[in-house]
Amino acid sequence: MKLEKPQDVLLLGPGPSPVHPRILEAMGQHTLGHLDPDFLTITDQTCALLRFVFETENQITFPVSGTGSAGMEAALVNIVEPGDKVLIGVNGVFGQRMADVASRCGAEVVEVEGEWGKPIDPEALEKKLSAHNGVQLIGLVHAETSTGAQQPLEPVVELARRHDALLLVDTVTSLGGLPVAVDRRDLDLVYSGNQKCLGAPPGLAPITFGERALRKFRNRKSKVQSWYLDLSFLTRYWGEERFYHHTAPINMIYALFEALSLIKEEGLDDRFARHKKNSRALISGLEALGIKPVVAEEHRLASLNAVRIPENVDDQQVRSRLRRDHLIEIGGGLGPFKGKVWRIGLMGHGSRRENVERLLKALALTLNELGYSCSGEEAFAEAGKVYQA
């Protein structure tokens, strides 16, 4: 049986995001051995490009073989030991997942809960840090995919330094779409995923370890609970020794190399500005349709736009019709946002004017067909004002 060619669906959900043709072409190149000298040259170049996108000089920077959640596990299993105190900000699904993984490492997890759609309040973190002496790690989600909220990091870095704690940051939905700036912000440990703003298919999780995080790892008293994600093995494979650990996903590395090359060619500042402008245009157009954003502008993600579903509009009907009639995918809400929120991703190659306009047109048509009166022309006009500015 031969694979039937999938439809060309415009992916404007929370991930994966649209893949640039150059990346698809790179994936189709001949597979080499995972210790082949030509492939090892590509891995070295890929790690150098990752340092460029993370904006770091950290030598321990490489892609974990697995999705973004594997990056989360790799960060936590290598740094956290049984009995460690870990403080996790929970204001969405992925903060909760981070807390869950930390608890599976045997950590004493202290959760700082925040309202969905808003960042974690640094004062709430400060209170918990003061109440729980000896916290060794603070974990936060920079771009919460379930809510569209961005977490300011600078105030938390200051807290971490003052309380002698490491800072772990999830950048799965931010790396390559908005500044992460690992070295400038003095972040200790950061992971991401291929399939969002980097614009490659899912399957790799870029990660970078700063010197404080490596010191904690080197001073472990217990064995890392995961053999596959043990940093002592992974650094030997990704470093000069090239010690055999596992068979790397060769063609996925090709894809990541090409995705990172596209980012470098565009330039980080221009890429960030593109994501921001397309998000502003989308929100302006949606507001003309009577669809309001969930997150206040100062904390709103450019890569993941969470908007409230209008009253008397059926979530599933709209998303099903968009997929069936217009070949467009957008995401529904999770947890308390289920049935109340749409999550619209504008990430990587997907963050383009033509995609914003295509979605606005399709959404206006769909809503009018379902009895919700709105003007697609007005939405186009409002989005156009952003592009003309």
CATH code of domain 21-264: 3.40.640.10
Question: DSSP label at 200?
Answer: S
Instruction: Burial-class residue 310 by CB neighbours within 10 Å (0-12, 13-18, 19+).
Output: middle
Give the Cα separation of 97 and 264 in Å (integer): 31
Which residues in the chain come in under a pLDDT of 70? none
Does the fold of domain 267-388 match that of domain 21-264?
A: no
To 5 degrees, how large is the angle CA 16–CA 21–CA 26?
A: 95
Terminal Cα distance for the chain, rounded: 53
Supply 337's token pair. 């946002």
Q: What is the dihedral of CA 302, 306, 312, 313, to 10 degrees?
A: 70
Residue 48, both tokens: 């150098």
Q: Which residues contact 165 (CB under 8 A, 6 or more apart)?
A: 87, 129, 135, 136, 137, 138, 159
CATH, domain 267-388, list 3.40.50.720, 2.60.120.260, 3.60.10.10, 3.90.1150.10:
3.90.1150.10
Q: Where are the domains of the chain?
A: 21-264, 267-388
Give dist(CA 112, CA 130) in Å, integer. 13
CA torsion through residues 156, 116, 376, 316, sign: positive
Among residues 212, 367, 216, 354, which one has the least CA distance to residue 278? 354
* pLDDT for 242: 80
Contact 85, 135 (CB under 8 A): yes
Tell me the CB-side half-sphere exposure of residue 240, using CA atoms within 13 A: 1
Distance in angstroms (rounded) separating the CA atoms of residues 95 and 97: 5
Q: How many CB atoms lie within 10 A of CB 362?
A: 21
Q: pTM for the whole thing?
A: 0.96
Alpha helices by DSSP H, the chain: 21-27, 37-54, 68-79, 93-104, 122-131, 154-162, 182-185, 211-218, 231-238, 250-266, 268-288, 315-326, 353-369, 376-388
